[in-house]
Amino acid sequence: MPDLNPLSLWRKLLALPNESRAKTLAVAFLVSAVCTVIVSATAVILDPVQQANRRAEQAARMDAMLAAMPDMAALIEHTGGDELETLIIDLRTGEPARDVAPDTLDVEHAFSDPVSTTPLDPERDLAGLGERPDLVPIHVLREDGRLRLVILPVVTQGYQSTIRANLALEGDLQTVAAFSIIEQGETPGLGARIDDPAWQARWRGKRVAGPDGQLRLSVVRGGGTDEFQVEGITGATRTGNAINNGIQFWLGPDGFGPVLERLAKDGR
Amino acid sequence: MKWLRVLSHPILDNNPVTLQILGICSALAVTTSLTTAATMAVALTLVLMASSVIISTIRRHIPSSIRLIVQITLIASLVVVADEIIQAYAFPISQRLSIFVGLIVTNCLVLGRAEAFAMHNPPGPAALDALGNGLGYSLILLIVAFLRELFGAGTLFGWPVLPVATDGSGFTPLKFMLLAPSAFFILGLLIWALRSVRQGQIEPPDFKIAPDTEERRP
C-alpha cells in the first residue's frame, strides 16, 4: 500500500536530489503558489485603504480645480450649502435619469462598475473605451437659476493607462473654464506631465466649437495654437492624442454632445 | 566580531553603490528629496532582508537549474507587497515614487545579494549581510538626496532650511540639482572622494592605452 501520510511525502520530497525533475517541478510550483497567495492576499486586504486614498485624492483634485477658477470659488462661497448639483445623465437619451438618485452613483463607479453599457463600434470609439456606460454623473453649478458651470468627466485610454479628467465649461457651454487630470499612469517625466498645473492652465479660456457648431477644441502638436487649440506636451504625443480623442468623443454625439445642446437650449 | 564585520563591511568597504556601482537607476530617480529617498531606502532594505532570509532558508532545496527564476519570483512578490503597503499607508509618497518601488525588482543589488551571499549562508548571516547592504545603499541615497534637496529646493524633508529668494535677496534654488544629471555628478564626486581616502577601492585598469604608433599623417 502506498504511503499517503503528507508528512512523510513532504520528507521524501525534501530528500530528493535537487536536480531531479520531480523536485525541480515541485519547488517551482510551491514557490509560485506561495507567492501567488501572498501577493493576492496583500492586494485584497489593502484594496479598501487604497481606494479610500484614491477617492480622497480625487476629491482634493476636484476642489483644487474649483479653486483654480477664481470666480467659481467665490461663487460657491457666495451660494453656500452643497454648492455643486449632481445630475445623473442617461447618455442613451441625453436626459437626466429620473429614477436614479444622484448620490447613489459617483464617477468612479459609473465607469468601473456600470449598471448598463452600450457597446461602441471601433470607428466611433475614439476614446478606446470598448463600451460606454449609459449612466454618468455630471456636476452643474447655477446662480439664480442661470447655468454658471458644467463639469464633465472625461475618460480615455492613454498611452499606457486609463486617463481620467474633468472638463469644466462655463455657463455659455462654449468656453473651457478648467481642465484637470484626476487619474493617470502615463510615462513619468513625459506623458505624466499632463498632471502639471501649468499645462492644465493652457486649457482655460479655449473655445469649444466654431460658429458653425462644429467641435473644434483639440490638443495639437507644437506650432501655433488658435482659440480652439491646446498645445500638447513635447515628447508625449501619444498621451496628447489620447486626450484629444477623449475630448472629441465625450463632447461628440456619443458623449455629452446631446446633453450640452439641451442644456444650452433651455438652461435646465 | 565576525558577524559585526558581515554587517559593517558593505557599508563603507564594499558599498553596493559606490564600489559595486549597483542600484544606480533608483539612486538617480528618487533622490530629489529626502522623503522619497528615505522611503525608497527603507523599502529596499526591508525587501532585501526578507528576500535574503527566505532564500537562505530554502537554499538547500533550490534546484540550481531554476535558482534565478525562484529568486526573482520571491523578490518580485516581496516588492509588490511593499508597493501595495506604501500605496495604502503612504499614498502621497507613493505618487512621487511612481514606478521606482516596483523597479526594486530589477535592482541588481537585491538579486546580487541573493545569488552571491544568501544562497551559500545560513539565514542569520544572510540577514546581517542584507541589512548591511541595505544600510550602505540607504547611506549613499540619503547623502545624495540631502545635497540635492538642500541645494535644489532649499528644504530638508520638505522643511525650509535655506531662505529661498522671493524678492531678489536670499538663496536661489539650483534647479539643476533636481535633474537626473546632478545625481550622476554627486555620485561621481562621492566615489572619487571615497577612493581617494581608501586607495584599496581603486580598480586596476583593465588595459593600458598605448601611444598610437600607426597614426597616419595626411
pLDDT mean over B53-73: 91
Domain assignment present for B210: no
Give the per-residue pLDDT at B146: 92
pLDDT tens per residue across span A87-119: 888 888 878 877 777 666 677 777 777 777 888
Task: Tell me which of A49, A51, A55, A193 to substitute to probe the interface with B (most B C-beta atoms closer than 10 Å).
Answer: A49
Q: Tell me how far apart the alpha carbons of residues A246 and A240 are, in angstroms, rounded to a whole number.
A: 10
Task: List the grid coordinates of B124.
Answer: 542569520
H/E stretch holding B27: helix B24-29
**pLDDT class for B13, splitting at 50, 70, 90?**
confident
Partners of A39 on chain B (C-beta within 8 Å) are 77, 80-81
Q: DSSP class of residue B210?
A: -
Residue A38 has pLDDT above 90, yes or no: yes
ipTM for the predicted complex comes to 0.77
Give the per-residue pLDDT at B166: 63
Between the alpha carbon of residue B22 and those of residues A128, A229, B120, B212, the distances in Å are 40, 46, 21, 34
Domain assignment present for B162: yes
Residue A45 has pLDDT above 60, yes or no: yes
Give chain B's domain count.
1
Residue A268 has pLDDT above 60, yes or no: no
Residue B34 has pLDDT above 80, yes or no: yes
pLDDT mean over B153-178: 76
Q: Which amino acid is at A260?
A: L
Domain assignment present for B105: yes
**pLDDT class for A81, splitting at 50, 70, 90?**
very low
pLDDT mean over A45-63: 84
Residue A15 has pLDDT above 70, yes or no: yes
Residue A120 has pLDDT above 80, yes or no: yes
Task: List the grid coordinates of B119.
Answer: 544562497
Identity of the highest mean pLDDT range in A30-39, A214-223, B55-64 = A30-39
Q: Tell me how far apart the alpha carbons of residues A232 and A191 are, in angstroms, rounded to a whole number.
A: 10
The DSSP-derived string for B74-143 is HHHHHHHHHHHHHHHH-HHHHHHHGGGTGGGGG-HHHHHHHHHTGGGS-HHHHHHHHHHHHHHHHHHHHH
Give the per-residue pLDDT at A41: 95
Report the relative pairing of strands A218-220 and B155-156 from DSSP bridges: unpaired
* Boundaries of every domain in chain A: 6-46, 68-266
Domain assignment present for B211: no
Alpha-carbon gap: A62 to the closest alpha carbon of chain B (Å): 17
Task: List the grid coordinates of B181.
Answer: 544629471
Rounded mean pLDDT of chain A?
A: 82
Question: Can you tell me whether residue B16 is helix, strand or coil?
Answer: coil
Interface contact flag, B73 A23, Cβ < 8 Å: no
Give the per-residue pLDDT at A74: 65
Interface contact flag, A27 B65, Cβ < 8 Å: no
Partners of B84 on chain A (C-beta within 8 Å) are 42-43, 46, 50
Domain with B146 in it? 2-201
Partners of A46 on chain B (C-beta within 8 Å) are 84-85, 87-88
Residue A132 has pLDDT above 80, yes or no: yes
Backbone phi and psi for residue A135, each to the nearest 5 degrees, phi listed first: -110, 120
Task: List the grid coordinates of A96.
Answer: 437626466
Rounded to 5, what percent of chain B is helix, strand, coil?
A: 70, 5, 30
pLDDT mean over B125-138: 91
More confident call, B199 vs A21:
A21
pLDDT mean over B122-143: 91
Residue A80 has pLDDT above 60, yes or no: no
Backbone phi and psi for residue B174, each to the nearest 5 degrees, phi listed first: -85, 100
Residue A141 has pLDDT above 90, yes or no: no
pLDDT mean over B38-66: 91
Residue A10 CB contacts under 8 Å (≥ 6 apart), including other chains: none
Residue B218 has pLDDT above 80, yes or no: no
Query: In this complex, which of B74, B98, B99 lies closest to A35 when CB atoms are compared?
Result: B74
Give the per-residue pLDDT at A197: 83
Task: List the grid coordinates of A260.
Answer: 450640452
pLDDT mean over B163-185: 77
Give the per-residue pLDDT at A59: 78
How large a percentage of chain B has pLDDT more than 90?
26
Least confident of A65-69, A88-92, A111-115, B10-14: A65-69
pLDDT mean over A70-86: 64
The DSSP-derived string for A73-119 is HHHHHHH-SS-SEEEEEETTTTEE-TTS-GGG--HHHHHHS-SSEEE
Q: Tell me how far apart the alpha carbons of residues A174 and A197 are, in angstroms, rounded to a whole number.
A: 22
CA-nearest residue of chain B to A27?
B62
CB pairs under 8 A between A and B: 60
How large a percentage of chain A has pLDDT more than 90?
13
Least confident of B81-90, B159-168, B191-200: B159-168
The DSSP-derived string for A167-209 is EEEETTSSBEEEEEEEE----TTTGGGGG-HHHHHTTTT-BSB
Domain assignment present for B207: no
pLDDT tens per residue across span A161-215: 889 888 888 888 888 888 888 888 888 778 888 888 888 888 888 888 888 878 8
Alpha-carbon gap: B116 to the closest alpha carbon of chain A (Å): 19
Residue A143 has pLDDT above 90, yes or no: no
CA angle A171/A174/A179 to nearest 5° reads 85
Q: DSSP class of residue A17?
A: -
Partners of A188 on chain B (C-beta within 8 Å) are 98-99
Domain assignment present for B191: yes
- Chain B residues near any Cβ of chain A (below 8 Å): 60-66, 69-70, 73-74, 76-77, 80-81, 84-85, 87-89, 91, 95, 98-99
Alpha-carbon gap: B112 to the closest alpha carbon of chain A (Å): 20
Query: In this complex, which of A14, A31, A43 lies closest to B74 when CB atoms are compared?
Result: A31
Domain assignment present for B99: yes
Least confident of A60-74, B42-56, B62-76: A60-74
Task: List the grid coordinates of A208.
Answer: 469649444
